[in-house]
Amino acid sequence: MPRPDDIANQLLDLKAPLNVDGLLDAVVALYNDCNFPVLKRIRNIDAFIKRNQPTITQLENSRLKGSDFDLIKVIGRGAFGEVRLVRHNDSRKVFALKLLDKNEMLRRADTAFFWEERDIMAHAESEWLVRLHYAFQDRTHLYMVMEFMPGGDVVNLIC
């Protein structure tokens, strides 16, 4: 059985499978998935929504979101969304932001690649891979904020 200090260390380690950011994402996603009129008719789900609404609102207001970035221009489009050149409102740093539509990904049943790409960029320590700075989600989109590498995408550079 894991010791409490082991769990605490894992929660603070952003590379651990069990970490605070992952748990907060899961709680917000669960809340959002339950917050549909058809599901709120179920008494326990409605009670969950009402009990946790203030906490979720506080979490959403304090965490990174799409509106924290200003669009400079769209630099690519794909099957699930687009890549944008953006500037972070507070730091004024420029990033590439991959914006993926959740409904489109679920419709095509192809969400696994998002998690693989996110994990590779988040945990790899290679000068040959683009660094992931932030990953987050809202009700409709998944976001990956990564370093901007001018020059286009690898597929077009190879051709």
Tokens 């917050």 locate to 35
Write down the pLDDT at residue 49.
95
pLDDT of residue 157: 61
Nearest-angstrom CA–CA distance, 134 and 97: 9
- The model's pLDDT over 117-136, given as tens digits with 9 standing for 90+, comes to 888 888 888 888 888 999 88
pLDDT at 10 over 80: yes
Cα gap 11→17, rounded to integer Å? 9
- Residue range 66-151, CATH number: 3.30.200.20
**23, two tokens:** 């748990």
Using the structure block, give the residue that is written with the tokens 């020059």. 151
CA 101 → CA 21, 81, 104, 122, 141, distances in Å? 21, 6, 5, 20, 5
Please indicate if the annotation marks 93 as binding a ligand.
no
Cα 31 to Cα 56: distance, rounded to the nearest angstrom: 8
Instruction: Quick: pLDDT tens for 20-74.
Output: 888 888 898 899 889 888 888 999 999 999 999 999 999 989 989 999 999 999 9
Query: Phi/psi at 20 (nearest 5 deg)?
Result: -60, -45
**What's the CA gap between 129 and 151, in Å, rounded?**
15
Residue 137 near residue 127 (C-beta atoms within 8 A): no
Question: Predicted confidence band at 6 (pLDDT cuts at 50, 70, 90)?
Answer: confident
Question: Structure pTM?
Answer: 0.77
Q: pLDDT band at residue 155, thresholds of 50, 70 and 90?
A: low
Q: At residue 2, does pLDDT exceed 70?
A: no
Residues of the chain with CATH 3.30.200.20: 66-151
Between 30 and 5, the more confident residue is 30
* pLDDT at 104 exceeding the cut of 90: no
* pLDDT for 156 beyond 80: no
